[in-house]
Every structure is written in C-alpha cells, then in structure tokens.
Chains A and B, each alone.
Chain A
Amino acid sequence: MAEGLRGNLRQLPLLDIIRMLSLGNRTGRLDINQVGKTGEIYLERGNIVHAVTGTQIGEKGVYTLMGWLEGDFAFTPDIAAPEKSIDVATEQLLLEAARQAEQWEDIKEVISSTEAVFNISPSGSTSTVSLKPLEWQVLAQVNGQRSVIEIGEILGLHEFEVAKIVYSLTTAGLMQEVTDARTIFRDIVDEEFFEKVSVSYTEVMGPIGPVIIEEEIQLLGEDRKAFPQDKVSELVERISLEIADSKKRAQFQKEMVSILRG
C-alpha cells in the first residue's frame, strides 16, 4: 500500500478502503474528515483495534464512520493506536458494517440523510401500532426541527439505530420527513377560520357543505388540523367553484376575500 494513501469517500467507500488495508495487513491510522466532523480508525497488522469519532468510540465509532458517504480520507502507516477499544475480529466487524450498509440502502429510500428532520404524521397510522420503549423514546423527540443525528445525541444512540427506528415508524405512517425549511415553519390555519368558512359555505350549499370542504382538503393532499396558510385561497376558490349560481358564488367569494385579506 502506497504511503500517504488519500482520497474521497465518494470515489472509494470506507468499507472497501478498510478491506484493502486489512488484506494488506497494514498498520497505521486512517483519518476521515467531513465538514465539521473527524474520525480515526487504527489498524494493527490488518486488524481494526481502535476507532473514534466525536463521542463514539470502538465498534460504534466504526459503524458511524461506515455510514459516512462523503468526506476525505488519508491513511498514515506505522502509527500505533493510543488505546485498544475493539476486541471483535475485523472480519466480523466488516460483515456487520456491510449488513448495516445494505440496511442503509433501504433506509435511504425513506430518510434522505441523517440530517433529515421528521415530524409526526397528522394522518397517523391506518392500523393499530404497538411501540417498543426505544421507538417511543425516538417518537417523543420528533418535533419537526430535530434531525436524526440530533435525536441520537439526545438519547445517546448511534445514528444508525435512530435511523432504523425512524424508518420503521415512517413506513408505519406515524412520521413523515419535513422536506424543507419552509415546511417546518409554514403557518398553519387555525380552526376558527375553518368554522367561519364552514358556516358561510353551509348557508349556500346546505348540509353537504362541510363534506365538500373536507373532500377538497384531501384532494389538496392536506389535513384540516395542519392546513398550510399558503393553500387557503386555493381551497376557498376550489370550494367556491362548486357553487353553481354565479351570484351566490360571488357573494361567498366576497365574504371569503374579506376574511383572507383581513
């Protein structure tokens, strides 16, 4: 192995680098750098003997680093480990890392990254769900602002464990990823507004009015309890178009425009 081996994880995944170093019976330190984060893995005659990144040491440190998909790496030969935190055979460690990497592939279909933020799904699950204590702890930390990594830090869990739980809770319909900052902070319409709309609309459409409102909310892919302010006029316009009489429609729109324009 050439001295001063270095490169980027996008070109060569960490698992492959360690496999190469292990097969070559190398001794030394592998440094991995991501923006704002660093990690070290020490090898002794091809065996991983120590790993550290942030507060994660030993096996946890290895698995955390294996989850890094981007960053620079550099191997410096003949540096001895400051301590030995790993007793597990390297082959076993790599097998577990490979298994986790496979699971990450499934997880990534639901969780865009460990920086992703989730909130509790307003619609919830369609069936009964029983939660394990750890799943409940993760769910309790989800607030539409904390990332997967941050939840892991709060609970003292490895991000892979948190991601697995988030994955299962999301596929069960209990959580959803917040796609962008605008979604996190977007204003929600209060119930008082819906009551006003419902009263005015029922006067025109009769008892079917509230049903039409609910239908249109669903067609917009939203939920009344968390209806975004920026879709209100679209909703009002859609329900107003259901009013066949143009004069009644204009009257309803007049009331609504007055409310919407404050």
Chain B
Amino acid sequence: MKEGLREINELVGTWGSLICNNQGEIIQGNTPPGLNKSALENINRNVISMFTSAGESIQEISEAVLHYSERKLFILDLKKAFLIVICTPSVDISLLRMTVNVILSRWEGDPKVQKELKNNFVDRI
C-alpha cells in the first residue's frame, strides 16, 4: 500500500496521498510533514460526509475532484476505505486517474493490501 501511495506522489502536481477508513482515520499516508494527522483526519471526515450525506442518489458515484484555489482533492471511494490525493491545481487529472486505476488493479490481487483494508474496515459514520 505504501509503495502505491509513493507511486501516486511521484506524479507531477501531486502533493500527498492517503488511505483512510470509512470514519476518516488514516490507515496509510504519504503526505508532507507540514500536515498533521488530526488536521488531515478532519479533512477526511468532511470528505466522507459528502459521500454519505448525499444519500442514495449518488451511490453510484465513486470519485470526486474538489477544486480549491490553491489545491485540488481527488477522492476515490474504495467502499472498504477512501483514497484521497492532495494535488496542486495544475495536476493532470486524467493521468492521475489512470495511475490510481493501475495501482488499485494491482491492490485487488494483493492479499497483503486486502488484509490491511479488511483489518481496518469500519462502518461509515
């Protein structure tokens, strides 16, 4: 999992990435030292509440890109957890999406990653 996040972070315009459980707690992170854990988990909870509070109408949606003036947040609902990538506005979203897809595809067949996700699974808030 750590290796996957490192690969994501190598993409130009990516600032940091993390996997959090369904309640926002970080399972694995690769983020800049300036971002402390509790601040990040606050962000995670806000992001997750967007997905959960939107109700059944957007249940099919598994991905979101939030645009801020200084940053972009790429969020992927993995069902067992969330992947959140913090990016600069100039990030190539298509390339990021494909990179993430390649990594997720690899994780699907990786028992170590699946075990880690299973062990950290919690119901949504």
Instruction: Say whether A43 faces chain B, with CB atoms less than 8 Å apart.
Output: no
Chain B residues within an 8 Å CB radius of A261: 10-11, 95, 99
A233 touches B105 (CB 8 A): no
How far does the alpha carbon of A256 sit from the alpha carbon of B97 in the complex, in Å?
A: 12
Instruction: Say whether A237 faces chain B, with CB atoms less than 8 Å apart.
Output: yes
Instruction: Say whether B98 faces chain A, with CB atoms less than 8 Å apart.
Output: yes
Could you tell me which residues of chain B, from 78 to 107, have a CB within 8 Å of some CB in chain A?
92, 94-95, 97-99, 101-102, 104-106
Taking the nearest CB of chain A, how far is it from the CB of B89, in angstroms? 14
A260 touches B95 (CB 8 A): yes
Chain B residues within an 8 Å CB radius of A45: none
Main secondary structure of the interface of B (DSSP, over half): helix
Chain A residues within an 8 Å CB radius of B105: 246-247, 250, 254
Taking the nearest CB of chain B, how far is it from the CB of A226, in angstroms? 20
Q: How large is the interface on B (under 10, 10 to 19, 20 to 34, 35 or more residues)?
A: 10 to 19
B92 touches A233 (CB 8 A): yes
8 Å CB contact of B98 from A246, A247, A256:
A256
Most buried by A among B94, B97, B104: B94
Chain B residues within an 8 Å CB radius of A254: 102, 105
Chain A residues within an 8 Å CB radius of B92: 233
Instruction: Say whether A64 faces chain B, with CB atoms less than 8 Å apart.
Output: no
A250 touches B94 (CB 8 A): no
A/B interface sample: 22 pairs, CB < 8 A: A233-B95, A233-B98, A234-B94, A236-B94, A236-B98, A237-B94, A240-B98, A249-B101, A250-B101, A250-B102, A250-B104, A250-B105, A250-B106, A253-B98, A253-B101, A253-B102, A256-B98, A257-B98, A257-B102, A261-B10, A261-B11, A261-B95
Question: Interface residues, chain B, CB within 8 Å of chain A?
Answer: 10-11, 92, 94-95, 97-99, 101-102, 104-106
Question: Interface residues, chain A, CB within 8 Å of chain B?
Answer: 233-234, 236-237, 240, 246-247, 249-250, 253-254, 256-257, 260-261
